[in-house]
């Protein structure tokens, strides 16, 4: 882990089942590297890769919006099965992704999902449902 960036993954049990809670803190335009413990990766792979996908998406968005210069990503084998879950998990902890997202970030998310999902509208609705559930009020 670079000393200039912080990335932490916590596993929790929610009312709708287990989800990845992803907490990311960045300083502008620094080189950032995230290490994920193997035991977390093992759990993550069994459940569909939510933490990995969440970090991957967070880094892609951060890189495209200038919040961080993405230089390295270790241990990533992206599986989009649980992507909406991790998007919602990120939204709960990363202000830049709180719903409604700014247009530029929204376009980035839409483009990222559109390449991986045949039904963008359903994914967005599911994402909104998760955000509302995780951020009441």
Q: What is the pLDDT of residue 42?
A: 58
The overall pTM is greater than 0.75: no
Rounded CA separation 43/36 (Å) = 11
Residue 54 burial (CB count, 10 A): 27
Per-residue confidence (pLDDT) for residue 80, from 0 to 100: 32
Q: Which residue has the higher pLDDT, 10 or 107?
A: 107
| 34: its two tokens | 């995230």
pLDDT tens track for 42-91: 555 554 554 555 555 555 554 444 333 333 333 322 333 334 334 433 43
C-alpha span between 67 and 15 (Å, rounded): 32
Give percent of the chain above pLDDT 90.
0
Interatomic CA distance for residues 20 and 14, integer angstroms: 10
Q: Is residue 70 within 8 Å of residue 59, measured between CB atoms?
A: yes
pLDDT in tens, 1-53: 332 333 333 333 333 333 333 333 333 444 444 445 555 555 555 545 545 55
State the average pLDDT over residues 87-113.
44
Quick check: 73 and 81 in contact, CB under 8 A? no
């Amino acid at each position: 882990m670079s000393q200039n960036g912080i990335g932490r993954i916590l596993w929790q049990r929610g009312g709708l089942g287990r989800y990845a809670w992803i907490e990311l803190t960045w300083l502008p335009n620094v080189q950032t590297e995230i290490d994920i413990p193997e035991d977390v990766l093992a759990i993550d792979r069994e459940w569909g890769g939510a933490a990995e996908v969440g970090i991957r998406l967070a880094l892609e968005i951060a890189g495209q919006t200038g919040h961080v210069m993405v230089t390295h990503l270790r241990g990533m084998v992206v599986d989009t099965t649980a992507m909406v879950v991790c998007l919602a998990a990120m939204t709960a902890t990363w202000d830049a992704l709180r719903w409604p997202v700014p247009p530029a970030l929204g376009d980035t998310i839409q483009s990222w999902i559109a390449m991986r999902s045949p039904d963008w509208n359903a994914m967005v609705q599911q994402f909104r449902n998760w955000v509302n559930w995780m951020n009441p009020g």
